[in-house]
């Protein structure tokens, strides 16, 4: 990965942090995009120490605030002449329905819409850096939404359950990857998503999902894999030169190989509809001009 520039969201802990360590150790120039400056600074120091690389930097990013997403994208475009790999890793889960500063249901807003906007704003740089890759951390939890996206209630105003809303946000990740791969066909940029495994990380432990966080703290180590192992598929999709990886776009991976996601995640018409709805939502708040590639 020497000479390659990698951007990773949510890399202050867990899978994202371990992904950053491995890629920096392999010679990549790594930029972590984090919400908390304090936790980000501590993670930055640890990544540099463990990887043995000083070529690691940090930018501020709050995926729940579209103005922050735009500032982060502008900062990245100013700092980085090329972006070879974008890893959309950050994610949250909440027990109660909460909204972002822009008024979106928080899991849909952070897990999907924030990444949707960030990726769109960085797409031209990715294409200019081709061959390049977009790696989207989805989840097996996308199967919690077997009926697909609720297009009549994307913000879960009518009804809300923690796992239902989380599952739809992870389905949105997979659908975004599918539609983006179609739009970027022929550009030299591949787009794939993944399930990292059930990982004992900092996920759900920062107060967003109190009871779930407590349960994970107590028994997670008995049934979950480590963040280091959870990062393996992200690293594989970011680095592998094997044609079964490097030559694939629009795929869904787990445990080092390609799998078939849910029927809803494979629906190209629904993926295109979600793209249009997402563009409308972020555009209405952020004056985004969608670019046709």
* Token pair for 88: 């959309």
Q: Is 252 a catalytic residue?
A: no
Token digits of residue 114: 């924030």
Residue tagged 């992200």 (tokens): 234
Q: How far apart are CA 64 and CA 99, in angstroms?
A: 9
Measured distance CA(165)–CA(153) in Å, rounded: 11
Residue at token pair 């990245």:
76
* 3-state SS assignment for residue 155: coil
Burial of 291 (0-12, 13-18, 19+ CB in 10 A): exposed
Rounded CA separation 238/245 (Å):
9
- Start-end of H helices in 87-151: 106-107, 115-128
- What size, in residues, is the chain? 293
The 3-class SS string of 199-268 reads ECCCCCCCCCCHHHHHHHHHHHHHHCECHHHHCHHHHHHHHCCCHHHHCCCCCEEECCEEECCCCHHHCH
Active-site hit among 108, 166, 253, 275 = 166
Q: Any idea which residues carry the catalytic annotation?
A: 166
């Amino acid at each position: 990965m020497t000479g390659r520039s990698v951007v990773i969201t949510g890399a202050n802990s867990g899978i994202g942090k371990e992904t950053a360590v491995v890629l920096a150790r392999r010679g990549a120039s790594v930029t972590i995009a984090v919400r908390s400056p304090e936790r980000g600074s501590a993670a930055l120091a640890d990544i540099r120490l463990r990887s043995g690389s000083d070529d690691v930097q940090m930018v501020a990013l709050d995926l729940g605030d579209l103005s922050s997403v735009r500032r982060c994208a502008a900062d990245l475009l100013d700092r980085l002449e090329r972006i070879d790999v974008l890893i959309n890793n950050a994610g949250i889960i909440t027990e109660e329905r909460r909204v972002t500063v822009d008024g979106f249901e928080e899991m849909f807003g952070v897990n999907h819409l924030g990444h949707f906007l960030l990726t769109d704003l960085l797409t031209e740089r990715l294409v200019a850096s081709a061959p390049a890759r977009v790696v989207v951390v989805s989840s097996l939890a996308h199967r919690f939404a077997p009926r697909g996206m609720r297009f009549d209630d994307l913000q879960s105003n009518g009804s809300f359950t923690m796992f239902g809303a989380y599952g739809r946000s992870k389905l949105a990740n997979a659908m975004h990857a599918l539609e983006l791969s179609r739009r970027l066909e022929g550009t030299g940029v591949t787009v794939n998503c993944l399930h990292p495994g059930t990982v004992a990380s900092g996920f759900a432990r920062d107060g967003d999902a109190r009871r779930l966080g407590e349960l994970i703290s107590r028994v997670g180590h008995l049934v979950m894999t480590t963040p280091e192992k959870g990062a393996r598929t992200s690293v594989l999709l970011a680095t592998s030169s094997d044609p079964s990886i490097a030559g694939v776009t629009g795929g869904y991976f787990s445990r080092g190989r390609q799998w078939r996601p849910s029927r809803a995640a494979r629906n190209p018409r629904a993926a295109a509809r979600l793209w249009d709805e997402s563009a409308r939502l972020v555009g209405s708040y952020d004056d985004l001009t969608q670019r046709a590639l």
